[in-house]
């Protein structure tokens, strides 16, 4: 009798464990991690250095980027502002691409965020205006 | 004597016979006058118009010498001679928004011309990139990016995307909640807009095309039946073109557009939750210009107007 009871308990434990594992797997599949964009404003590194920010026109920003001025993503304002250097998936600096968004009030960048030598870097999958 | 008379008569009869035969070998199977081409259609590009037509039955005529295209409506242009293989033909150097009349005639080597067949059409803006020089995309409902397509941002004069908070700017909206895949008039989509969308009407859904250059018309776009509607993209498995009209800010008359919706093994591209639908747009910036006027009918097809 004791033996039968032990077997029943063992089988019940196996079934419960199996269901739990199955449920955990389903939960994992059903809720992929949301790719939230890093949201901020495109500014030139010169503006960051001087602390004087302007509202860019698209053509002016493009011309400035062509001259070699780096454009970056600024998240937040004032002393709490954080600067992100945005790179393309192929490893090239995306400053010129970013300059095309300098006239937008707000943009979002989706991608892998890294910190290297104290610099915040985003390897961008998607860059979009968010107005 | 009698024999020589008979010989002379035989020679004359033979000469008359050969003369008759000689006449019969000239190319007299030509029709008297060239026959006009038919079914003249047009589509717009930026600064140009592509026309195509159904070939004239005179193309097989030995006297066929090609077509003559006359263009009126803008800066005067010299007539253009076209061969039968130059169909479709792109007329460049035109001004967007100006309605040009294209008049096509069949020409014979003897300079006789058929009656003209005409169509009036305007070049229009063509957008393959948005105001950020990036592909024109709007995103699924779950994305933080905009699900609204602004086909013509009056500030930048280019397309852009917009978020739900700016519903008034939306021309078309994408809705993907509840397992739906809807594209259509923003006011019919289940969003809680920050600002109220305007009226956007959609006419035909055109399938089976690879680009806007393949969407030809023979009549003005306002001849279509428009209404506010949503398109269930899940019912389609190829590129779509939507004929759309909306009101620019402050305007009461319509602005017309053709919106190409790209299908690439599905309409939604990319990775969840930032999947997107991609577009190309033909846009008539001039308010109240439905790209064209209704094509004239060919009157008296065989009329020789030489």
Place of tokens 């870097």: A121
Note the pLDDT of residue A47: 96
Question: Burial, B180: exposed, middle or buried (Cβ in 10 Å; 0-12, 13-18, 19+)?
Answer: middle
Identify the weakest region by mean pLDDT among B179-188, B217-226, B273-282: B217-226
Contact with chain B for residue A22, Cβ under 8 A: no
Residue A107 and residue A82 share a domain: yes
Check pLDDT > 50 for residue A25: no
* More confidently predicted of B67 and B11: B67
* More confidently predicted of B302 and B260: B260
Check pLDDT > 90 for residue B228: yes
Question: Burial, B178: exposed, middle or buried (Cβ in 10 Å; 0-12, 13-18, 19+)?
Answer: exposed
Range of the domain at A71: 38-129
DSSP conformation letters of B150-178: EEEETTTTEEEEE-GGGGGG-SEEEE-ST
Residue A16 and residue A74 share a domain: no
Residue A24 and residue A63 share a domain: no
Quote the number of domains for chain A. 2
Note the pLDDT of residue B270: 95
Average pLDDT, whole number, for chain B?
A: 89
Query: Which chain A residues contact residue B134 at CB under 8 A?
Result: 100, 127-128
Check pLDDT > 70 for residue A67: yes
Average pLDDT estimate for A18-24: 45
Check pLDDT > 90 for residue A126: yes
The predicted-structure confidence for B254-265, as pLDDT tens digits, reads as follows 999 999 999 999
- List residues in chain B touching A: CB distance below 8 A: 131-134, 137, 139, 142, 144-146, 156, 160-163, 166, 270-274
Binned at pLDDT 50, 70 and 90, residue A35 comes out as confident
Note the pLDDT of residue B32: 77
Length of chain B: 306
The whole-angstrom separation of Cα B99 and Cα B74 is 8
Cα of B187 vs its chain's centroid, Å: 29
The predicted-structure confidence for B41-92, as pLDDT tens digits, reads as follows 999 999 999 999 999 999 999 999 999 999 999 888 999 999 999 999 999 9
Note the pLDDT of residue B64: 96
The whole-angstrom separation of Cα B197 and Cα B168 is 4
Residue A62 and residue A27 share a domain: no
Average pLDDT estimate for A46-74: 96
If you ran DSSP here, which 8-state letter would residue B84 be given? T
Residue A114 and residue A62 share a domain: yes
> Taking a C-beta distance cutoff of 8 angstroms, is the pair B255, B201 a contact?
no
Place of tokens 């008759």: B20
Check pLDDT > 50 for residue A14: no
Query: Which chain B residues contact residue A37 at CB under 8 A?
Result: 144-145, 274
> Taking a C-beta distance cutoff of 8 angstroms, is the pair B145, B134 a contact?
no
Note the pLDDT of residue B3: 57
Residue A55 and residue A7 share a domain: no
Residue A72 and residue A25 share a domain: no
Beta carbons within 8 Å of B222's beta carbon, 6+ residues apart = B245, B254, B256, B290
Q: If DSSP codes are grouped into helix, strand and coil, which group holds residue B303?
A: coil
The whole-angstrom separation of Cα A102 and Cα A106 is 9
Whether the link from the prior residue into B273 is cis, omega within 30° of 0, is: yes
Residue A8 and residue A60 share a domain: no
The predicted-structure confidence for B15-36, as pLDDT tens digits, reads as follows 444 444 444 444 445 557 999 9
**Which CATH number does B1-124+298-306 carry?**
2.60.40.10
Residue A64 and residue A111 share a domain: yes
Place of tokens 């295209």: B69
The predicted-structure confidence for A96-116, as pLDDT tens digits, reads as follows 999 999 999 999 999 999 999
Task: Report how far apart, in Å, the C-alpha atoms of A22 and of each of A12, A15, A28, B127 are.
Answer: 15, 11, 10, 49
Query: Which chain A residues contact residue B154 at CB under 8 A?
Result: none
Query: Which chain A residues contact residue B162 at CB under 8 A?
Result: 131
Question: Burial, B30: exposed, middle or buried (Cβ in 10 Å; 0-12, 13-18, 19+)?
Answer: middle
Task: Report how far apart, in Å, the C-alpha atoms of A93 and of each of A3, A20, A82, A121 are.
Answer: 70, 46, 18, 10
Shortest distance between the Cα of B279 and any Cα of chain A, in A, equals: 15
Residue A80 and residue A42 share a domain: yes
Average pLDDT estimate for B133-139: 98
Residue A49 and residue A16 share a domain: no
Nearest-by-Cβ selection for A129 from B142, B161, B274? B161
What is the domain partition of chain B in residue ranges? 1-124+298-306, 125-283
Note the pLDDT of residue B302: 38
Residue A108 and residue A122 share a domain: yes
Question: Burial, B2: exposed, middle or buried (Cβ in 10 Å; 0-12, 13-18, 19+)?
Answer: exposed
């Amino acid at each position: 009798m004791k033996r039968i009871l032990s077997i029943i308990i063992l089988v019940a434990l196996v079934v419960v464990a199996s269901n739990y594992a199955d449920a955990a797997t389903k939960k994992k599949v059903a809720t992929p991690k949301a790719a939230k964009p890093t949201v901020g404003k495109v500014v030139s590194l010169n503006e960051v250095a001087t602390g004087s920010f302007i509202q860019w026109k698209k053509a002016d920003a493009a011309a400035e980027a062509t001259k070699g001025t780096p454009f970056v993503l600024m998240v937040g304002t004032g002393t709490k502002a954080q600067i992100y250097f945005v790179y393309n998936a192929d490893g090239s600096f995306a400053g010129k691409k970013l300059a095309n968004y300098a006239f937008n009030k707000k943009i979002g960048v989706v991608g892998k965020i890294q910190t290297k030598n104290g610099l915040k870097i985003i390897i961008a999958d998607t860059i979009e205006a968010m107005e | 004597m009698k024999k020589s008379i008979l010989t002379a008569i035989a020679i004359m009869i033979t000469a008359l016979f050969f003369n008759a035969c000689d006449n019969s070998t000239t190319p007299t199977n030509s029709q008297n006058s060239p026959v006009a081409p038919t079914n003249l259609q047009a589509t717009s590009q930026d600064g140009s118009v592509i026309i195509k037509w159904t070939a004239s039955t005179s193309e097989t005529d030995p006297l066929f010498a090609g077509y003559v295209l006359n263009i009126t409506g803008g800066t005067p242009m010299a007539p253009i001679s076209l061969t039968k293989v130059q169909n479709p033909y792109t007329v460049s150097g035109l001004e967007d928004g100006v309605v040009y009349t294209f008049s096509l005639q069949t020409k014979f080597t003897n300079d006789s011309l058929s009656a003209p067949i005409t169509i009036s059409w305007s070049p229009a803006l063509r957008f393959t990139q948005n105001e950020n020089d990036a592909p024109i995309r709007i995103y699924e409902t779950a994305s933080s990016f905009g699900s609204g397509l602004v086909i013509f941002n009056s500030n930048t004069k280019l397309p852009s995307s917009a978020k739900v908070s700016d519903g008034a700017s939306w021309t078309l909206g994408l809705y993907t909640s509840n397992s739906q895949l809807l594209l259509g008039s923003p006011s019919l989509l289940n969003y809680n807009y920050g600002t109220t969308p305007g009226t956007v009407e959609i006419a035909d859904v055109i399938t089976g095309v690879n680009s806007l250059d393949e969407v030809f018309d023979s009549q003005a776009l306002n001849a279509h039946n428009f209404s506010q509607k949503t398109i269930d993209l899940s019912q389609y498995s190829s590129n779509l073109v939507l004929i759309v009209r909306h009101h620019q800010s402050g305007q009461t008359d319509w602005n017309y557009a053709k919106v190409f919706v790209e299908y690439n093994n599905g309409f939604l591209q990319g990775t969840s939750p930032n999947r997107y639908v991609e577009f190309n747009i033909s846009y008539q910036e001039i308010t109240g210009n439905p790209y064209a006027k209704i094509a004239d009918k060919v009157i008296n097809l065989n009329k020789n107007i030489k």
